[in-house]
Amino acid sequence: MLWTDTHFHSGEYLPDFERYTQEAGQAGVGILLLCASGAAEVPLAKAAAERFPGIYYAAGIHPHNAESDQDFLPCLESFAEDPKLAAAGEIGLDYFYDFCPRSVQLKVLEDQLDWALKKGLPAVIHCRDKADSEQAYEDAYLRLKSFAERGGNFVLHCYAGTPEFAEKFAALGGYFGVGGMITFGKADNIRELAKLLPMDRLLLETDAPYLAPKPYRGKPNHSRYIPLIGAKLAEIKGIPLEECAGITTTNARRLFSKIQPSGEEEL
């Protein structure tokens, strides 16, 4: 049974990255997508992907860094032909914190979507809004609609928007990242979204070291917890655990086409 973690960050794990990947592999998580969200992280992610066969990486400018890192966009070109670069990301909009002016976030997102399309890369999308607003989702939808109409594809990382927007994004062919929040006691909205969306649109992710699933909530997350997230999704969908692992890994390979066929590159 092969699991895939389609979104994690290295962070505190870099000093002992070999142990991290070994522990993930022992849990059956053989494919990992390391999301590098800024100028400082991309070279480190590339180095990790070169060292470990089952690790791929995404490169992009996070909306929190849209203002400080916008000059880094031309530098992404030097990574574009890397066979282990599987996506543009984590990119998007964050109107919850608003660390950067929204006009800058929008421009940097548009530029990165154009770059992803040019390079044939899917996009890993961060979209977060304030509790009483849907403006970030509306702004993201308009840009992803244009992206999809031009042949692009994407995953909404840690999606927590409304069912209505979920259906709109799904109609564009988008995927949805299911993470540790699906196990949280009060996250009924996340479980309802998982129930609503078809299995062929769902990916598993940890967002490690953030958002650890129960019973590890409040502690550093880890890719080895993917089977716990998968077990909750399988329960909601009423399918065997093995089927959940197989479908979500197949979905990941479909979206991230640079991931090698089964057995060729796994941890």
CA distance linking residue 96 with residue 38, whole number of Å: 19
In this prediction, residue 97 carries a pLDDT of 95
pLDDT score of 51 more than 70: yes
What is the structure's pLDDT at 93?
99
Q: What is the pLDDT of residue 73?
A: 82
Q: Is residue 214 part of a domain?
A: yes
CATH code assigned at 20: 3.20.20.140
Residue 263 inside a domain? The answer is no
Q: Is the residue at 31 inside a domain?
A: yes
Inter-axis angle of helices 226-237 and 188-196, to 10 degrees?
A: 60
Q: Which of 111, 118, 136, 115 is nearest to 126 (CA)?
A: 136
Predicted confidence (pLDDT) per residue in 53-86, tens digit: 999 999 999 999 999 987 888 888 889 999 999 9
Nearest to 91 by CA among 108, 67, 115: 108
Count of domains for the chain: 1
Are 153 and 122 contacting, i.e. CB atoms less than 8 angstroms apart?
A: yes
- pLDDT at 266 exceeding the cut of 70: yes
Q: Is residue 266 part of a domain?
A: no
Out of 11-15, 64-68, 78-82, 239-243, pick the least confident. 11-15
> In which region does residue 55 sit, left (phi positive, over 0), alpha (psi from -120 to 50) or beta (all else)?
beta
Q: How far is CA 136 from CA 93, 119, 123, 133, 179, in A?
A: 6, 25, 16, 8, 20
DSSP structure class, residue 208: B
Round the average pLDDT of the chain to a whole number and report it: 94
Whether residue 192 is predicted with pLDDT greater than 90 in this model: the reply is yes
In total, the chain counts a number of residues equal to 267
pLDDT above 90 for 115: yes
- Model confidence, pTM: 0.96
> What does the pLDDT look like over 219-231, one tens digit per residue?
999 999 999 999 9
Task: Give the pLDDT score at 33.
Answer: 98
Q: Domain limits at 239?
A: 3-255
Q: Which residue has the higher pLDDT, 102 or 132?
A: 102
Q: Assess whether pLDDT exceeds 80 at residue 267.
A: no
Amino acid at 227: P
- pLDDT of 118-159, one tens digit each? 999 999 999 999 988 999 999 999 999 999 999 999 999 999
In a domain, 219, yes or no: yes
In whole angstroms, how far apart are CA 200 and each of 6, 136, 167, 232?
Answer: 15, 25, 14, 16
Q: Tell me the average pLDDT across 158-176.
A: 98
Instruction: Return d(Cα 140, Cα 150) in angstroms, integer.
Output: 15
Strand-pairing partners, residue 55, are 32
Q: Which of 32, 45, 34 is nearest to 224 (CA)?
A: 32
Residue 260 lies in a domain: no
> What span, in angstroms and rounded, lies between the C-alpha atoms of 63 and 92?
6
More confident residue, 16 or 54: 54
pLDDT at 262 (0 to 100): 59
Q: Is residue 264 part of a domain?
A: no
Q: Is the pLDDT of residue 263 over 90?
A: no
Using alpha carbons only, give the angle 126, 47, 25 rounded to the nearest 5 degrees. Answer: 75
Q: What pLDDT is attached to residue 140?
A: 99
Question: Closest Cα to residue 5, out of 62, 57, 76?
Answer: 57
Q: Is residue 262 part of a domain?
A: no
Is 52's pLDDT higher than 80? yes
Give yes or no for a contact between 147 and 108, defined as CB atoms under 8 angstroms apart: no
Strand partners, 5: 32
Question: How many Å apart are CA 144 and CA 113, to the nearest integer?
Answer: 8
**What is the C-alpha separation between 230 and 60, in angstroms, rounded?**
27
Query: Are the CB atoms for 182 and 229 separated by under 8 Å?
Result: yes
pLDDT at 134: 96
Q: What percent of the chain has pLDDT over 70?
A: 96
